[in-house]
Structure 1
Amino acid sequence: MTIININALGVTLGDPLFTDLNLTISKGDRIGLVAANGRGKSTLMGCIAGIFEHATGDITRARGLRVGYVAQYVPASAQQRTLYEIVLAALPQDQADYESWRVDVVLDDLKVPYDLQQKPMAGLSGGWQRIALLAAAWIMEPDILLLDEPTNHLDLHRIGLLQDWLGALPRDTPVIITSHDRAFLDATTNRTLFLRAERSRVFQLPFSQAREALTEADDADERRFANDLNKAQQLRKQAAKLKNIGINSGSDLLVIKTKQLSERAAKIEAAAKPAHQERGAGDIKLTNSGTHATALIALDDVAVTTPNESLLYTTGKKWINRGDRVVLLGSNGTGKTQLVKLIHRAVSGEVAGVKSAATVAMGYSDQHLSQLDDADTPMTAVAGQFDVGDQRARGLLAGAGVSIQMQDTKIGALSGGQKARLAMLILRLKQPNFYLLDEPTNHLDIEGQEALEDELISHGATCLLVSHDRSFLRNVGNRFWQIIRKRLVEVDDPEAFLAQEMTPSPP
């Protein structure tokens, strides 16, 4: 049963975000909405929810349809209210007094600890804020659920809980999900919409299978376009021959046929459509300056502690050798970031038990991109830090997805995706031979994640990285260190850890 019909929908914000979009949403649909950063995913969700106005086309909703919409960000007005209050406020005023039990039920379903329910939103992590918005959207059991980047800031365990929660929803409840987490899309969707400025495509498949089908469809379009142009070219050649024969023979019939062939060629050329060329959100390119050292980092049974010196775990004797791409595995709060920070300090100075080769040139990026100064501008961050000249700096920034208009504005005004690409550009210009990356895929779209994977692998980069993105860590890692019972242990692969993290804890 169709509950929403989208016909020839278009939205323009300066440039067209998308045009002539057609989509039917039926009961039971679990739709993954995929596009590069800034290409209109959140805008389309807002249009479906009735929050944003569309420029062209129509959205027809079933009578009385209730839409649950989970936006990416918590409004400033909600920051001082507790998580419990935010969910309770989603109930209509006349129900809040005698149906507050609904809040307890939905928070229990989402495994929200009681102590967190009583904390102000401003004091919660980004992950718990996302869970609060989800609970508030679901408490009235809407007819359709719209989730905009629901896995942002969630650790693997919470992603697993969210997957299971979505799987337990009534089967006929349609859900639309925007996400850059490929494994999450594969686990939770049965249809995929690739949103494009024109000729968006829908496949009755989860993301990975749909991506293959999209590639085949684009390749077929490219072949069809080439064949059409070749056919038109052959017709024009035949027309040219007939024209010469007609002129030499004085035949009016051949002149008429020449004109007909030329007109057919023109119609074919006018109707021929080139294959879609995706306009990327910006290039991600890295480098590897190389080193003759075999071991770049050596750990000699280092104690990794909390900021107040409580022991988290000890490392044992570990080495990171040239070409190693080490993924650090551990549950949330076990101290992955603490080890990254410790090695960062060791490369920059002296830390007992940690040695770095004299030739190590480090490229460091943390999960909050704190190496970028929001008060700075992209232009000064590049031209002021590296000897590249203003003209080349502007070209590098444009290639990384920071438009000319944004290059002299504050970095704080950039989108998360633009900030991430700017951080990667600065990493490249540092010409490192060792990358230290804490959640590098935060804010990167799927195209950016795959580009980062390719760059790390193709350059033979040496790195230590932390990531909650299962596809990314599986594709990049060739060694895996796991924090197990206060020890850092090397394991063959991440699968046992991922299975453990993604499995809900028993009640």
Structure 2
Amino acid sequence: MANLSLRNAGLRSGHVLFSNLSLSLSDGDRVGLVAANGRGKSTLLRAFIGEAELSEGELSRSRGLTIGYVPQDVPADALAVPLRDFVEQALPPSDRESEGWRADVALDELGFPLDLVQKPIGQLSGGWQRLALIARGWVTQPDLLLLDEPTNHLDLGRILALENWMAALPRQTIVVMASHDRQFLDSVTNRTLFLRPETSHFFPLAYSAARQALDEADEAAEQQRQRDLKEVAQLRKQAAKLTNIGINSGSDLLTVKSKQLRERAEKIENQVVSVHREKTGKVMLGNSGAEARVMLAFENTAVATPDGRPLFSIDKLHVFQGDRVVLLGRNGTGKSQLMRKVAAALNGEAIDGLRLSPQIVPGYLDQALDWLPLNKTPLDFIVSSYNEGDRRSIALLAGAGFDPDRQDKPIRTLSLGQRARLALLALRLQRPNFYLLDEPTNHLDIPGQEQLELDIAEHGATCLLVSHDRAFLRGVGTRFLQIIGKRLREVEGPEAFFAEMAEAP
């Protein structure tokens, strides 16, 4: 039986990321690793393979345990390597001649077309690079497969295909994956580990059920905390009363009793469980408001590729204030081209068949985040771009999850998750009343996704969005438009589209 275990494990990086973590993984465990950005998920995965050190505790592996590791990015020195060679290189050198067929099987199982097999990794799209890393991690068919953000850069069709691939893995294979995709975690895991600084929680449940159990545990812990603090206050009150009586009466017995009560209060106080509160920062989106009923109006609008090839058309469509419009469609049908067309109109370009309300104040968030000034610090960026002043900017960044030491580091040194939070803060400070959101949850951790959903709903924000995140689409969308047969048509919801994508080859 394959096995990996942790005992009293902890990790520090300036501050505690997690501590007192004990667990044992065995055959068939499919574990979702959940935590906010920068809370130690990737480091824990690398510790499993010996590439990182835990700050405390013990990690043990059963004798002969084989491990496949899938990092987030292709190593820079592998970008020029042909795809098939890249996958085959994960095999022991002595096995490559006789076992090289395993690379072909892994690539075929993950849906790679033959014309990509000899292409250098660096020439592949981000989605194919992600699948190449997975093929490389699996080619030896390890006992334990570690996946760091496996759905990053994948479109919905490939995410669904990856779910099917994982369902077909040998039943005894242990899988541990760090992911922010809630629907994916629900589909492929049977256990969930929530990493926390004080007390991590491990549930034998997929994400959504585990999250409910976690909320219940937090509520019970908060109630116990309140009872303990109430008892502490009563003990201190009794101790103070006995002290006064003892002083006035000269009773040494009462003084000793008072000391005992204070010591008991201190002991309880020191044992009070600190209830976890996610300190990932909130980026509250606003809505500057508008009196106009119609924010966008399309009529006989044609959408085409950059070289003029027709993709689809919009006969007539009004986007009303408060609508949260989700755009659905297979890859290549024109979603991105429509988003670019709307973005161009918001930037003042005249677009045939598209009218904007003169009251519209736009906010645009694209998935690349390449408009962020990478050489500036977050503080310099906010101060120079928005009229908030130094002190207010520092407070805003702190509220968005940026500790003072991170505010003065160049943006290029931030993780993609931190950059996403900075972009959302900048979006808030533009005070728009219409949001154009292209894959807004890319790189956002789950608390950030949930906060974004809540903000959009609570502020009545009008938005047009594209996303492959099924949980986010279900939570945010009020209208759903699907590209069907060269036309943009309104549909009742996203479920039929999801089912269609799941059945696609």
Which band: TM-score by shorter chain? over 0.9
Confirm or deny: 8 A CA contact 1:285 1:452 kept in the other structure: yes
Note closer, same or farther for the CA distance 1:198–1:250 as it changes in structure 2 (3 Å cut).
closer
Aligned partner of 1:26 in structure 2 is 26
Q: In the TM superposition, what whole-angstrom CA distance separates every residue of 1:17-49 from its partner, at most 9, and x where no partner exists?
A: 222211111111111000000000000000011
Confirm or deny: 8 A CA contact 1:2 1:24 kept in the other structure: no
Tell me, in whole angstroms, the C-alpha distance in 2 between the residues paired with 1:150 and 1:360. 38
Aligned partner of 1:37 in structure 2 is 37
Any residues of structure 2 matched to 1:258-273 within 5 Å, and which? Answer: 258-273=258-273
Aligned partner of 1:484 in structure 2 is 484
Any residues of structure 2 matched to 1:4-15 within 5 Å, and which? Answer: 4-15=4-15
Aligned partner of 1:293 in structure 2 is 292
Note closer, same or farther for the CA distance 1:384–1:258 as it changes in structure 2 (3 Å cut).
closer
SS of the equivalent of 1:31 reads strand
Q: In the TM superposition, what whole-angstrom CA distance separates every residue of 1:476-502 from its partner, at most 9, and x where no partner exists?
A: 000000011111110010000011112
Aligned partner of 1:92 in structure 2 is 92
Q: In the TM superposition, what whole-angstrom CA distance separates every residue of 1:379-433 from its partner, at most 9, and x where no partner exists?
A: 3432222222223223222322334334344322221011111111111111111
Aligned partner of 2:414 in structure 1 is 414
Note closer, same or farther for the CA distance 1:243–1:198 as it changes in structure 2 (3 Å cut).
closer
Aligned partner of 1:307 in structure 2 is 306
Q: In the TM superposition, what whole-angstrom CA distance separates every residue of 1:179-198 from its partner, at most 9, and x where no partner exists?
A: 00000001111111100122
Note closer, same or farther for the CA distance 1:54–1:309 as it changes in structure 2 (3 Å cut).
same
Aligned partner of 1:318 in structure 2 is 317
Confirm or deny: 8 A CA contact 2:198 2:274 kept in the other structure: no
Structure 1 stretch 218-227 or stretch 65-74: which is displaced more? 218-227
Note closer, same or farther for the CA distance 1:269–1:306 as it changes in structure 2 (3 Å cut).
same
Any residues of structure 2 matched to 1:376-415 within 5 Å, and which? Answer: 376-415=376-415
Runs (5+) with no aligned partner, structure 1: none
Tell me, in whole angstroms, the C-alpha distance in 2 between the residues paired with 1:389 and 1:259. 51
Tell me, in whole angstroms, the C-alpha distance in 1 between the residues paired with 2:224 and 2:196. 20
Structure 1 residue 248: Cα displacement: 5.3
Structure 1 residue 504: Cα displacement: 4.5
Q: In the TM superposition, what whole-angstrom CA distance separates every residue of 1:311-370 from its partner, at most 9, and x where no partner exists?
A: 111112111110000000011221111101101111222111111011111101111113
Tell me, in whole angstroms, the C-alpha distance in 2 between the residues paired with 1:171 and 1:8. 29
Aligned partner of 1:65 in structure 2 is 65
Tell me, in whole angstroms, the C-alpha distance in 1 between the residues paired with 2:198 and 2:249. 49
Structure 1 residue 378: Cα displacement: 2.5
Confirm or deny: 8 A CA contact 1:298 1:355 kept in the other structure: yes
SS of the equivalent of 2:289 reads coil
Tell me, in whole angstroms, the C-alpha distance in 1 between the residues paired with 2:120 and 2:251. 89
Identity of aligned residues (%): 54
Note closer, same or farther for the CA distance 1:2–1:225 as it changes in structure 2 (3 Å cut).
farther
The AA in structure 1 aligned to 2:363 is G
Note closer, same or farther for the CA distance 1:247–1:406 as it changes in structure 2 (3 Å cut).
closer
Tell me, in whole angstroms, the C-alpha distance in 1 between the residues paired with 2:250 and 2:81. 90
SS of the equivalent of 1:152 reads coil
The AA in structure 1 aligned to 2:450 is E
TM-score, normalising length: structure 2:
0.96
Structure 1 residue 250: Cα displacement: 5.1
Aligned partner of 1:330 in structure 2 is 329
Structure 1 stretch 396-405 or stretch 307-316: which is displaced more? 396-405
Q: In the TM superposition, what whole-angstrom CA distance separates every residue of 1:270-296 from its partner, at most 9, and x where no partner exists?
A: 22223222222x221111111111111
Any residues of structure 2 matched to 1:264-283 within 5 Å, and which? Answer: 264-280=264-280, 282-283=281-282
Tell me, in whole angstroms, the C-alpha distance in 2 between the residues paired with 1:207 and 1:101. 36
Any residues of structure 2 matched to 1:97-246 within 5 Å, and which? Answer: 97-246=97-246
SS of the equivalent of 1:33 reads strand
Tell me, in whole angstroms, the C-alpha distance in 2 between the residues paired with 1:17 and 1:248. 51
Structure 1 residue 305: Cα displacement: 0.7
Structure 1 residue 252: Cα displacement: 4.7
TM-score, normalising length: structure 1:
0.96
SS of the equivalent of 1:233 reads helix
Tell me, in whole angstroms, the C-alpha distance in 2 between the residues paired with 1:236 and 1:15. 32
Note closer, same or farther for the CA distance 1:423–1:250 as it changes in structure 2 (3 Å cut).
closer
Structure 1 stretch 268-277 or stretch 299-308: which is displaced more? 268-277
User: How many equivalent pairs are there?
Assistant: 504
